[in-house]
Amino acid sequence: MAEKDDIEVSEAGLFPALYKPPGLLPIAQLKDALLYTAETYPVTIIVGETGSGKTTQIPQFLHKSGWTSDGSVVAVTQPRRIAATSVAARVAEEMGFFPGQLGQEVGYSIRFEDVTSAKTQIKFMTDGLLLREMLVDPLLKRYSVIMVDEAHERSLSSDILLSLLKKILRKRPELRVIVSSATIEAQKFLDFFASDEDGKVGGKTKNELGRIITIQGRVHPVDIQYLVEPTADYVETAVQTVMDIHSTEDKGDILLFLTGREEINDAIDKITDRIVDFGPSSQTLQPLPLYAGLDTEQQQFVFEPAPENTRKVIVSTNIAEASVTIDGIAYVIDCGFVKLRNYDPSLGIERLNVCPVSKASATQRAGRAGRTRPGKCFRLYTESAFADLPETTFPEIQRSDLAPVILQLMNLGITNVVRFDFLSPPPSKLLIRAMDTLHSLGAIDEYARLTRPLGTRMAELPLEPMLAKTLLNAPYFACLPEMLTIASMMTLQGTVFVSHDGNKKQEDKAKRRFAVAEGDHMTLYNVYESFISHGKKDAQWCRENSLNFKALVKAMSVRKQLRNHLERLGIAETATFDGPDAAKLRGMNLVERVRRCLTTGFFAHAARMKSDGTFTTPKGDVTLWVHPSSIFFHRKADWVIYHEIMETRDKTYIRDLTTVEIDWLTEYAPSYYRTKGK
């Protein structure tokens, strides 16, 4: 008998091969149960395989059954931006809206990109953004239902969100919380919501609080194969496996999991090189990348069906594990690793470590092969290595820089963060480091209270604390318009320069053309100013100068939003404030004022160049490598402050550097440099 899932129905020419009537999804059978539970209990935990319809269907069920009829909104949070945007588009389409109507009844909201309107009833958003909304709407009164999707991923913001929703439920028993989870964490989430000093949430006892609903998916068997001997180079082994599948296995697309963009591009190059070996007559391979940094259009390719006689090979990061659904996958190749952030609180360095995946992740990955028919999963590790994997992924809250989130919690009135009701409490070292950072920036006082106005204002800006502080200080250095531009350019995270058609030389030349001797911040400022003076809309000019047109358009929008934020705080773009050094500052040129202002936010990110061109921390204990994107990759400097520090592949890189004077560090951060030494 044919599985219902195998039936492909073409509807009104919309993505003919992809469009599947939602009624056939596994979740359809549970619609009534789900709506009953949501009606009856404050908390519903929903468990189901990827692709069963949780993300796209639940908000539509709620919408149709009246949860938005009084003007309330159903919110669905996602840990990843790409999931929020792509799912919103999908749901709008299913509800019969044209692509241009996204942002009306169905919309999405991610940092610096709000595609919603007064009409919006279903809103997809990142978990971090919903946290931000609590600053203006602490009880989230606009929402009748909040679905925390992919909660088992344990992203920092979704963990915090669950804690805060638990608090909100006490004041708003009519609010409905739906948590979507993998099996392994479901009971933990329900127990968390139920745990309370008096055993009550919203006046209900534990038993009345919520239910777990499990969707029985129609998953097909997946044949799992392991390596007999471990591989030393999983990218190469992965490429070979792709080629083997292509030459020996039946039709069906391939999904290959690697850890990051470089590996993905490397694998795609290798696959492209070897396709020719198959000769012109045979079926061809179409390798496609999928990672968070791709722009929306590029991401869209992976969802489109492959052309005739073509097998898609989607080479993806962890994104494809659960966040997005790609149909037609019959073969999964799992390298067994994932890139995870890991913050070192003693050095203040963020590491991007390649770590073994958890068993839960490996199982999810394999499951992607059995969505529409029996599939195969090739694990590029041995069976005994699998047995040694940890059960679940280590929560992000236990391995992140907590300064931004603590600042937000404090602004929400949570004064004692140590006693906050965390789902998994972070190690105290991380909490202490975060408090130290906030204290040195002047956001909290010696009694760990948020300062006014600086601390509260920093919390209200959608920027990391160091950058927020810098921007708020800019009027004292008479450089707010410039700092607004710099802050906007910083949010683009290194996507400003691009080499069109892979022409690296031209990109380097363009970089030199815009370079400002004092550093990367003023260089980026220079790029933005040139872009504006060339009439803003000039994509051709961007191409000629190896600049990313879309990124610059984005910077314009971010700048406008930041300016509006400041205006709401009563700070106009033209504002200048007289600090104690006002007279001294008046005699300085703009670039020096900008550099000094940057020092007031980034003093903790100081470094000094050594004779070999690498940098070292003030204490001299860590060697820092200049990121190739910096103008100091080729030039000399003495002391600098940097925007970002990240360790990858055993090297610690710093990026976005600006020269400073050593005296400024003690001038603007006397207590920090007195107690820590130089």
599 binds ligand CDP (CB under 6 A): no
54 binds ligand CDP (CB under 6 A): yes
Q: What is the DSSP letter of 613?
A: S
Task: Name which of Mg ion, ligand CDP, none residue 375 binds, using a CB cut-off of 5 to 8 Å depending on partner kind.
Answer: none
Identify which of 165, 143, 134 has the alpha carbon closest to the alpha carbon of residue 68. 143
Q: Is 470 in contact with 597 (CB distance < 8 Å)?
A: yes
Please identify which residue in 51, 79, 367, 519 interacts with ligand CDP, judged by CB under 6 A: 51
Please identify which residue in 37, 52, 523, 617 interacts with ligand CDP, judged by CB under 6 A: 52
Taken in order 423, 428, 433, 435, is the CA torsion positive or negative? positive
Query: Could you tell me the smallest distance in angstroms from the CB atom of residue 94 to ligand CDP?
Result: 8
328 binds ligand CDP (CB under 6 A): no
55 binds Mg ion (CB under 5 A): yes
Give all strands (DSSP E) within 521-667, no chain letters. Answer: 606-609, 615-616, 623-626, 639-648, 651-659
Query: Could you tell me the smallest distance in angstroms from the CB atom of residue 59 to ligand CDP?
Result: 9
Helix/strand/coil for 377: strand
Cα distances (angstroms) measured from residue 159 to each of 199, 395, 609: 21, 8, 40
Q: By rule CB under 5 A, what string of x and - marks binding of each residue 7-46 to Mg ion?
A: ----------------------------------------
Q: What are 18's two structure tokens?
A: 């992809």
State how far the Cα of 84 lies from the Cα of 402, in Å rounded to an integer. 24
In the complex with ligand CDP, which residue's Cβ is closer, 21 or 628?
21
Query: Could you tell me the smallest distance in angstroms from the CB atom of residue 212 to ligand CDP?
Result: 15
Q: What are 366's two structure tokens?
A: 């394999």
Task: Name which of Mg ion, ligand CDP, none residue 90 binds, using a CB cut-off of 5 to 8 Å depending on partner kind.
Answer: ligand CDP
Q: What are 405's two structure tokens?
A: 């989130």
155 binds Mg ion (CB under 5 A): no
3-state DSSP helix/strand/coil % of the chain, to nearest 5:
45, 20, 35
# residues near ligand CDP by CB under 6 A:
18
44 binds ligand CDP (CB under 6 A): no
Task: Name which of Mg ion, ligand CDP, none residue 56 binds, using a CB cut-off of 5 to 8 Å depending on partner kind.
Answer: ligand CDP
Which of these ranges, 83-91, 163-171, 391-399, 603-611, lies near ligand CDP under the rule CB under 6 A?
Answer: 83-91
Which of these ranges, 49-57, 67-75, 349-357, 569-577, lies near Mg ion under the rule CB under 5 A?
Answer: 49-57
Please identify which residue in 56, 158, 393, 599 interacts with ligand CDP, judged by CB under 6 A: 56
Task: Name which of Mg ion, ligand CDP, none residue 121 binds, using a CB cut-off of 5 to 8 Å depending on partner kind.
Answer: none
Q: Is 124 in contact with 155 (CB distance < 8 Å)?
A: no
Please identify which residue in 55, 144, 408, 411 interacts with ligand CDP, judged by CB under 6 A: 55
Residue type, 122: I
653 - beta bridge partners?
Answer: 625, 646
Provide the 10 A C-beta neighbour count for residue 276. Answer: 9
Helix/strand/coil for 61: helix
Which of these ranges, 48-56, 379-387, 439-447, 494-502, lies near Mg ion under the rule CB under 5 A?
Answer: 48-56
303 binds ligand CDP (CB under 6 A): yes
Which of these ranges, 55-63, 164-172, 229-237, 444-452, lies near Mg ion under the rule CB under 5 A?
Answer: 55-63
The torsion angles phi and psi of 662, rounded to 5 degrees, stand at -60, -35
Cα distances (angstroms) measured from residue 614 to each of 142, 346, 624, 630, 653: 52, 21, 6, 12, 10
Which of these ranges, 50-58, 162-170, 202-210, 275-283, lies near ligand CDP under the rule CB under 6 A?
Answer: 50-58
Cα distances (angstroms) measured from residue 174 to each of 37, 80, 186: 13, 28, 22
Residue type, 296: T
Task: Name which of ligand CDP, Mg ion, none residue 546 binds, using a CB cut-off of 5 to 8 Å depending on partner kind.
Answer: none
Dihedral Cα 491, 497, 500, 503, nearest 10 deg: -140
Task: Name which of ligand CDP, Mg ion, none residue 156 binds, using a CB cut-off of 5 to 8 Å depending on partner kind.
Answer: none
Which of these ranges, 6-14, 44-52, 313-321, 476-484, lies near ligand CDP under the rule CB under 6 A?
Answer: 44-52
Residue ranges in 306-325 that form contacts with ligand CDP under rule CB under 6 A:
325
In the complex with Mg ion, which residue's Cβ is closer, 55 or 491?
55
Q: Is 78 in contact with 147 (CB distance < 8 Å)?
A: no
Task: Name which of ligand CDP, Mg ion, none residue 303 binds, using a CB cut-off of 5 to 8 Å depending on partner kind.
Answer: ligand CDP
Q: By rule CB under 6 A, what string of x and - marks binding of each residue 4-33 to ligand CDP?
A: --------------x-x----x--------
Cα distances (angstroms) measured from residue 82 to each of 85, 126, 429, 476, 640: 5, 9, 32, 38, 34
# residues near Mg ion by CB under 5 A:
2
Cα distances (angstroms) measured from residue 327 to each of 15, 21, 145, 223: 12, 14, 29, 18
Task: Name which of ligand CDP, Mg ion, none residue 28 binds, using a CB cut-off of 5 to 8 Å depending on partner kind.
Answer: none
Residue ranges in 564-623 that form contacts with Mg ion under rule CB under 5 A:
none
User: Parallel, antiparallel, or unpaired: how do β-strands 375-379 and 143-148 relate?
Assistant: unpaired
Which of these ranges, 86-94, 537-545, 608-616, 632-640, lies near ligand CDP under the rule CB under 6 A?
Answer: 86-94
Q: What is the DSSP letter of 418?
A: G
Task: Name which of ligand CDP, Mg ion, none residue 52 binds, using a CB cut-off of 5 to 8 Å depending on partner kind.
Answer: ligand CDP
Binding site for ligand CDP (CB under 6 A): 18, 20, 25, 48, 50-57, 86-87, 90, 303, 325, 327
Binding site for Mg ion (CB under 5 A): 54-55
